[in-house]
Amino acid sequence: MARFLLTRLGQALVTLALLTVLIFVLARLTGDPTPLVLPSEATEADRAFFRQQYGLDRPVHEQYVVFLRNVLRGDFGISFRYREPAFDLVLAAIGPTLQLAGVSMLVAILLGLPLGIAAALRPGSWLAATVRGYASLGQAMPTFWTGLMLIFVFAISIPVLPSSGYGTAANFVLPAVTLGFYASASVTMLTWANMTEALRSDFVQMERVLGIPRRLIVLKHALRNASLPIVTYLGLQFGLLLGGAVVTERVFAWPGVGQMLVDAILNRDYPVVQAAVMLTAVLVMTINLVVDLLYAVLDPRVSRS
């Protein structure tokens, strides 16, 4: 197990090192930030000072060395736009994103797992057909549309929930359902397919012959065998939500890191782009590591191999 962990950590470090180069170069490819940071009244001297202040007048390789040295000290520089430490800004935004991603995943699991299991237990029934319709709808509906429809129904037509914002438990409901509904469609289909396969396997047939209660067979043995791809998917989906819930964050005015990253890219705020990508990458790698560990717990053959 220790070797398994060390290997994964080593891979993560190499990936992070490569990522520093990639994100540094890509951020600069977006262009000169000066026209976006300074007003049109600024003089050439102001513009030159800005470039000098942030080291943008130095050769790119020198800028990279400084960037890397500072990153190792946890310093991602000062945001061009907000004039605050970029890491602090991203750290403040990552909290709301993690909260939303967590609650959304919970919604996806609470909806997807029971529906998938139920459909697998009753193949060909009206229930299975309904679940199939639900999953198709969930996958087909874009999140921005779902979000706007939920606002229309539950904030405007039947005003029981806030339409947007952050800070109270009620604020979580609509964005978490929007994201959770989308993710639950895939969880449902994956659960359904893998449970169907597990329920047909020899060991389940044998357990039935041995008279083991059905509930125990389904929830303890079949579900455990079916869970590997579901856990993989949930890990990937959680990673996606960390940086990719931009549309939902925008629709619900959620002050998360996805929207911040897009704004930073559009405004060429290199320090924030770099800090947001690096922090998100570290989180995604951590989640992947947790998923790998879960694999080992769910299936000991993984760690042995």
Partner 1 sequence: MTQADANAASARPNPSAPGIGRRAALLSGAGAAVAMAAGAAVPARAQARPPLTVAIGTDLITQDPCRIAGGNDYFFFANVFEGLYGPDENGKPAPLLAESHTASPDGLSYEFTLRPNARFHSGEPVTAEDVRFSWQRAVAPETRNPRASVLVANIADVEVLDQRRCRVKLKQRDASFLDNCGEYWYIISKKHAEAGGENPFDRQPIGTGPFAFVERRVRSYIKLRGFEQHWGRVPAFGEVTLKIIPDDQSRVAQVQTGESDIVTNVPPVLAAPLQRLPNVQVVRAPSFQNIYIAINALNGHPGLRRADVRRALNMAVDKAALLRATMLGFAQQLEQPCHPDIFGCDAQVTPYGYNPDRARQILTEAGFDFGRPLKLLGQGTGRVPQARETLQGVAAFLNRIGIRTEINMLDYGAWISVYGARQKDPSVDMVFANFTDYNADPSGRLLRQVRTGATYSWYSNPEIDAMLDRMNDFASIEERRAFVRRLFARLHEEAPLIPLWTVDSIYGVGRGLSWKPTPHVSWPVLWNVRRAS
Of 97 and 237, the one with the shorter C-beta distance to partner 1 is 97
Contact pick of 135, 185, 189, 260 for partner 1 (by CB under 8 A):
260
For the bound state, the minimum distance from the C-beta of residue 56 to partner 1, rounded and expressed in Å, comes to 14
- Name the segment binding partner 1 (CB under 8 A); options: 32-40, 129-137, 178-186, 205-213: 32-40
Spatial distance between the Cα atoms of 238 and 177, rounded to a whole number of angstroms: 15
User: Smallest distance, Å, CB 63 to partner 1?
Assistant: 19
d(CA 219, CA 275): 42
Decide whether 249 or 292 has the Cβ nearer to partner 1: 249
Pick the piece of the chain touching partner 1 (CB under 8 A) from 20-28, 144-152, 212-220, 292-300: 144-152
Q: Residues in the chain, how many? A: 305
Q: Where are the alpha helices (DSSP H) in 123-222?
A: 126-140, 143-151, 169-200, 202-209, 214-216
Cα separation, 252 vs 129, in Å, equals 32
Query: What 3-state class would DSSP assign to 85?
Result: strand
Cβ nearer to partner 1, comparing 134 with 166? 166
- Name the minimum Å distance from CB 25 to partner 1: 17
Of residues 54, 166, 172, 182, which one binds partner 1 by CB under 8 A? 166
Residues 267, 274, 280, 288: which binds partner 1 (CB under 8 A)? 267
Distance of alpha carbon 283 from alpha carbon 245, whole angstroms: 15
Structure tokens at 22: 């990639």
Nearest to 111 by CA among 184, 43, 216, 168: 184
Among 118, 189, 251, 275, binds partner 1 (CB under 8 A): 251
* 229 contacts: CB under 8 Å, gap ≥ 6: 190, 194
Among 43, 73, 169, 215, interactor with partner 1 by CB under 8 A: 43
181 within 8 A of 103, measured Cβ to Cβ: no
Interface of this chain with partner 1, residues 45 to 104, rule: CB under 8 A: 46, 49, 81-84, 89, 92-93
Q: For the CB of residue 282, give the shortest distance to partner 1 in the complex, in Å.
A: 22
Task: Kindly give the interhelix angle for 169-200 and 223-244, rounded to the nearest 10 degrees.
Answer: 140
Contacts of 218 (CB under 8 A, 6+ apart): 117, 121, 195, 199
Residue count, binding to partner 1 (CB under 8 A): 43
Interface residue with partner 1 among 19, 155, 193, 298 (CB under 8 A) is 155
Pull the structure tokens for residue 82.
Answer: 């907000």
Minimum Å distance from CB 6 to partner 1?
39
Is residue 179 part of the contact set for partner 1 (CB under 8 A)? no
- Residue 68 CA to residue 65 CA, distance in Å, equals 5
Residues that bind partner 1 (CB under 8 A): 30-32, 35-43, 46, 49, 81-84, 89, 92-93, 148, 151-152, 155-156, 159, 162-167, 250-253, 255, 259-260, 266-268
